[in-house]
Structure 1
Amino acid sequence: MNLAAVDIGSNAVRLLLCNVVKSNGGHAIKKSELLRVPLRLGNDSFSKGHLTPTTISKLHDTLTAFKLLMKVNEVVDYRICATSALRDATNNKEIVKKIKKDVGLQIEIIDGKTEAKTIVSNRIAESMDHRKSYLYIDVGGGSTELTLFSKNKPVASKSLNIGTLRILYETDTKEEWEKLDQWLNKHCSKLNSLTAIGSGGNINKIYKMSRLKSGELLSVRKLKEMHNHLKELTLSERIQIFGLKPDRADVIVPASKIFLTITNKTGIKQIFVPQFGLSDGIVHELYEKNKKKYKALIK
């Protein structure tokens, strides 16, 4: 049985196709395909306040293609979530209505708290030591989602309008950075041996560039070294030396800046990078919500 998730982010639009199969008396969700289209909605939303007709047309075509892929893969259910860029666009209701009418797909614009909850729903607790505290950090193009875990349970969360594209376009505000500082002081200042769990395309890429073994922790010292090195390179040098895509090369430094700001304020020394994100969480929630309905379809 196949399920699909679409993540309409600020820097890209992603389609995740998963196959749910029987496994050891239960079930297992296996990734079968992940497609990323570098459609940067945040380019319009964070600089103009709305999406232009050209960008809307590209989103229309992207989702039309995704619908066809879902059809040929015999997807039985899907969920499409849009985050910061579409959330902030003044014409978002018009866009959602147009996509529903023209493409036949329903877009759900989710708030920051829902985004954070969906991301961490992806069985994140299985990766944790119940004796330790963890700060989950998801850095996107338009927002940063934080969730503090203690004894394997979420105890506090925060969504902030601090993202890589906002920094790139200089639309991040002093007030949001102050909110970040206040939240970290309130919830993390008294915690010892706090470990970060990093999420998002940029930290995933940095982890791969670090050539660490799967499951090995990324040290903040190593992250800082890479940040300083990347910062000194031009965009073309980042592309040539590290093989980065153009739409990754310009946001990877702002992303590492956000991670370093948070780790410096909290004293975090290591980051666990499980390499999953919103689309993984969407599929997990979709299955958990409807597993009784799906039971007869799983082979």
Structure 2
Amino acid sequence: MLDIKKYAAIDIGSNAIRLLISTVTDVEGRPPVFKKTSLVRVPIRLGSDVFVNNAISERNIQRMIDSMKAYQLLMDTHQVKAYKACATSAMREADNGLAVAERIKEETGISIEIIDGDSEAAIIAATDLNDLIDSKKSYLYVDVGGGSTEFTIYSHGETITSRSFKLGTVRLLNDLVSPETWIELEQWIKANTKSLEGIDLIGSGGNINNIFKSSGKAMGKPLSYFYLSSYYQLLTSLTYEERIVQLNLNQDRADVIVPAAKIYLSAMKWSKARKIYVPKIGLSDGIIKTLYNQDKAALST
């Protein structure tokens, strides 16, 4: 029997808002196949409002409402079975975050769940990450966002520990990360990885995806510490305008990619990892998988 359904995930981050629509194909006796059908990204950059002024501006509230109306139309057109919208660091810290979520619900019909760092890490863990890693090895998973970065340590197929740090690309661009935060992160990584031999990184987020694409590496192959370090040196040697022209970066990517690369490099240095894998999974993928699992569980009861 063949069963095909579409699910949607809305990820409201500190740098951008994304809609991912995935088609899930179930064939009896086989594992489900997840295929990304549509991905729309709007760089609203809520973090620039919230991390500086503690609230989302009226201009960006209206941009969010317009985006959600468009997303609702796309989901209706695709005949999406179920969706989930999650907001992370920026809306979580905004004084008017809950009020904005209520306004969006009233004007667009889309319900937004504001989640904490632990919930974000748990949703990401719902992806097929375990299918991508070697159960005999150890990994430090690093998901860099605009407002925060989630770190999870896996060893021999088990989750050892995880933590969210207020260390994101938009915060760094606005000089809102204290030296103490960097020191705390360094100590946490070193303390939790010192006993793990041959650890590798797993990188998640739009910036590392962009860096991986520029490398020309085949999917599944890792980037070396040397490559990432060399690319970071190239990024910092160019101006914002030169990154757009010479590296063909979008204007909303050309600035945040620099602090993102610094976070990944720092994590590699402190964990003594020499390679970073980039499987192109994140919060949106975790939401899709969660929706699918909930749907299957409901059908079986």
Which TM-score applies when normalising by structure 2? 0.95
Segments of structure 2 that go 5 or more residues without pairing to the other structure are none
| Bigger shift: residues 211-220 or 17-26 | 17-26
Tell whether 2:9 aligns with 1:11.
no
In structure 2, distance between residues paired with 1:292 and 1:129? 28
In structure 2, distance between residues paired with 1:125 and 1:20? 19
Contact preservation (8 Å) 1:125, 1:153? no
Q: How far off is 1:290 after superposition?
A: 2.0
Q: Give 1:118's match in structure 2, choosing from 106, 110, 123.
A: 123
| Bigger shift: residues 223-232 or 180-189 | 180-189
Where does 1:233-244 land on structure 2 (aligned, <5 Å)?
Answer: 233-244=238-249
Match in the other structure for 2:102: 97
1:142-169 CA-to-partner distances (Å, cap 9, x unmatched) read 1110000011121100000001111100
In structure 1, distance between residues paired with 2:106 and 2:246? 44
Name the count of aligned residue pairs: 295
Match in the other structure for 1:246: 251
Q: Give 1:193's match in structure 2, choosing from 192, 195, 198.
A: 198
1:110-137 CA-to-partner distances (Å, cap 9, x unmatched) read 1001111111220101111111101100
In structure 2, distance between residues paired with 1:23 and 1:36? 31
Q: How far off is 1:235 after superposition?
A: 0.9
1:47-94 CA-to-partner distances (Å, cap 9, x unmatched) read 111101001000010011100110111111100000111111111011
- Secondary structure at the aligned position of 1:245 is classed as coil
Letter in 1 for 2:7: L
In structure 2, distance between residues paired with 1:271 and 1:123? 17
Match in the other structure for 1:46: 51
Match in the other structure for 2:175: 170
| Bigger shift: residues 172-181 or 149-158 | 172-181
Segments of structure 1 that go 5 or more residues without pairing to the other structure are none
1:251-286 CA-to-partner distances (Å, cap 9, x unmatched) read 111000111111111111000000111101110011
Where does 1:135-154 land on structure 2 (aligned, <5 Å)?
Answer: 135-154=140-159
- Percent identity, aligned pairs only, is 43
In structure 2, distance between residues paired with 1:289 and 1:179? 37
- Secondary structure at the aligned position of 2:81 is classed as strand
In structure 2, distance between residues paired with 1:113 and 1:179? 18
Q: How far off is 1:221 after superposition?
A: 0.7
Contact preservation (8 Å) 1:6, 1:15? yes
- Secondary structure at the aligned position of 1:268 is classed as coil
1:25-62 CA-to-partner distances (Å, cap 9, x unmatched) read 24222211111111111110111111010010000100
In structure 2, distance between residues paired with 1:251 and 1:102? 31
- Secondary structure at the aligned position of 2:60 is classed as helix
Contact preservation (8 Å) 1:230, 1:238? yes
- Secondary structure at the aligned position of 1:75 is classed as coil
- Secondary structure at the aligned position of 1:58 is classed as helix
- Secondary structure at the aligned position of 2:266 is classed as helix
Superposed CA RMSD: 1.2
Q: Give 1:209's match in structure 2, choosing from 214, 229, 246.
A: 214
- Secondary structure at the aligned position of 1:279 is classed as helix
- Secondary structure at the aligned position of 1:6 is classed as strand
- Secondary structure at the aligned position of 1:249 is classed as coil
Q: How far off is 1:178 after superposition?
A: 2.5
Tell whether 2:234 aligns with 1:229.
yes
In structure 1, distance between residues paired with 2:268 and 2:106? 45
Letter in 2 for 1:8: I
Are the structure 2 counterparts of residues 194 and 87 from structure 1 closer, same or farther at C-alpha, using a change threshold of 3 Å?
same
Where does 1:246-265 land on structure 2 (aligned, <5 Å)?
Answer: 246-265=251-270
Q: Give 1:23's match in structure 2, choosing from 5, 16, 27.
A: 27
- Secondary structure at the aligned position of 1:246 is classed as coil
Match in the other structure for 2:71: 66
